[in-house]
Amino acid sequence: MNLKRVVVTGIGALTPIGNTKDEFWKGLASGVSGAAPITHFDASLFKTQFACEVKNLDIEQFIERKEARKMDPFTQYAMVAVEEAMGDSGLDLEKLDLSRAGVIWGSGIGGIKTFQDEVMAFSQGDGTPRFNPFFIPKMIADIAAGFISIKYGFRGPNFVTVSACASATNALIDAFNLIRLGKADVFISGGSEAAVTESGIGGFNAMKALSQRNDSPQTASRPFDNDRDGFVLGEGAGALILEELEHAKARGAKIYAELVGGGMTADANHITAPHPEGLGASSVMRIALEDAGLKPEQIDYINVHGTSTPLGDVSETKAIQQIFGEHAYKMNISSTKSMTGHLLGAAGAIEAIACIMAMQHSLVPPTINHFTDDEAFDPRLNLTFNKAQEREINYALSNTFGFGGHNCSVIFKKYN
């Protein structure tokens, strides 16, 4: 079958280190940490009292107050990032076949703040069931895609993928496949998450998944460091406009990059821990390479899942060495979660954008907060510690792995 080619023609980002794609890239290139004491609620009694929050966002600059009240923050974040991406794409809705334009979004949790607030209000009342009429539509994860399609009139395929921290990458792969199969011309894709809440922090604390470095939040996310003690929770959204190549060329669109391959696998091992030998991670990278028709030695940069957890970081580097062999020591590898924190279901979107911007600027963003080597990691691996490195990047791979053993990889190619 003659598969169509898929390109990225618009980008939008709302992140803990920048509220636009350009601010986000500036933060990445400069090695800025987005971690700080939590402001969304009083976290003084929690084991972890910091996170990577979105900062200085006036939602009413983007969404009318009455409409915003119908949305959980995860949907609000999605709308902000998509607005930037759509504007960036230059798509003319009057000239677009809206029946061939769709939305595939990703969110691992959805409206957790809405669910928490409504249940807490009920439990503190007199037992009379008084719930907000928007409780259910604000909470359900698919509502972000619904709101996006309503705003832009996109009548093609419309859904949200839920695969924990792999959700946004799953969404990108689904959109990629539908376009190259000729089922649609354009997709708004990406992901959003807003889990910096009492229940979000408390739940991850109970799992012992979060760093508790309350005395130094900005240095708490330290992938591959000997003293890493868990991830830092982040929030925000990333949006990409994926478009069939000839459709994009016909309208004279600027093209950021080409999406050339994707892979999806399962560890089938444990509900939260990665496979100790990186079995699922290695197979998903191999499948993505095969899908793209690439040899391992063609990859220049890997944006790793790299959450700063004791088991996950080791498992992923083992997988990279299994797949890439000697070439593993010639690539650049970095974890941008050291700066943004872990955006859960939105991680794959902003990390895909990081890969694309790295290609555009021939600059590999760093893994910040490296202080002490861990002998579990081969010193020959270039983990791009502490400072961005200049490099021509023709192919970049991005990994995202989720609780439940979900693994996704995507590969982007510099568009010439």
Q: What is the CATH number of the domain that holds 159?
A: 3.40.47.10
Q: What is the pLDDT of residue 44?
A: 98
Instruction: Answer yes or no: do 217 and 112 share one domain.
Output: yes
Mean pLDDT (the chain, rounded) = 97
| Per-residue pLDDT band at 291 (split at 50, 70, 90) | very high
| Per-residue pLDDT band at 336 (split at 50, 70, 90) | very high
Domain C-terminal end among 219, 250, 281: 250
Instruction: Answer yes or no: do 303 and 195 share one domain.
Output: no
Q: What is the mean pLDDT of residues 200-220?
A: 98
Domain C-terminal end among 250, 278, 311: 250
In 219-267, which ranges are E strands? 236-244, 257-266
Please give the residue range of the domain that contains residue 28.
6-250
pLDDT tens-digit series, residues 185-209: 999 999 999 999 999 999 999 999 9
Instruction: Answer yes or no: do 129 and 74 share one domain.
Output: yes
Dihedral-angle region of residue 268 (phi above 0 means left; psi in -120 to 50 means alpha; beta otherwise): left
Active site residue 305: yes
Neighbours of 396 (CB within 10 A): 27
Instruction: Answer yes or no: do 245 and 268 share one domain.
Output: no
Q: Which residue has the tokens 């940069």?
A: 301
In a domain, 171, yes or no: yes
| Per-residue pLDDT band at 274 (split at 50, 70, 90) | confident
0.95 exceeded by pTM: yes
Active site residue 342: yes
Q: 52, 165, 355, 408: which is the annotated catalytic residue?
A: 165
Q: Which residues lie below 8 Å from residue 203, measured CB to CB, with a gap of 6+?
A: none
Q: What is the pLDDT of residue 36?
A: 98
**What does the DSSP 8-state code read for residue 193?**
E
Q: What is the pLDDT of residue 272?
A: 87
Active site residue 355: no
Q: 52, 247, 275, 342: which is the annotated catalytic residue?
A: 342
Q: 247, 275, 305, 406: which is the annotated catalytic residue?
A: 305
In a domain, 256, yes or no: no
Q: How far apart are the first and last CA of the chain?
A: 24
**What does the DSSP 8-state code read for residue 39?**
-
Closest Cα to residue 242, out of 251, 255, 231?
255
In a domain, 255, yes or no: no
Q: What is the mean pLDDT of residues 20-26?
A: 98
Sign of CA dihedral 123, 127, 132, 134: positive
The upper half-sphere exposure of residue 241, i.e. CA atoms within 13 Å in the direction of its Cβ, equals 30
Residue 335 has pLDDT above 90, yes or no: yes
| Per-residue pLDDT band at 278 (split at 50, 70, 90) | confident
Residue 1 has pLDDT above 80, yes or no: no
| Total number of domains in the chain | 2
Question: 107 in helix, strand or coil?
Answer: coil
pLDDT tens-digit series, residues 129-159: 999 999 999 999 999 999 999 999 999 999 9
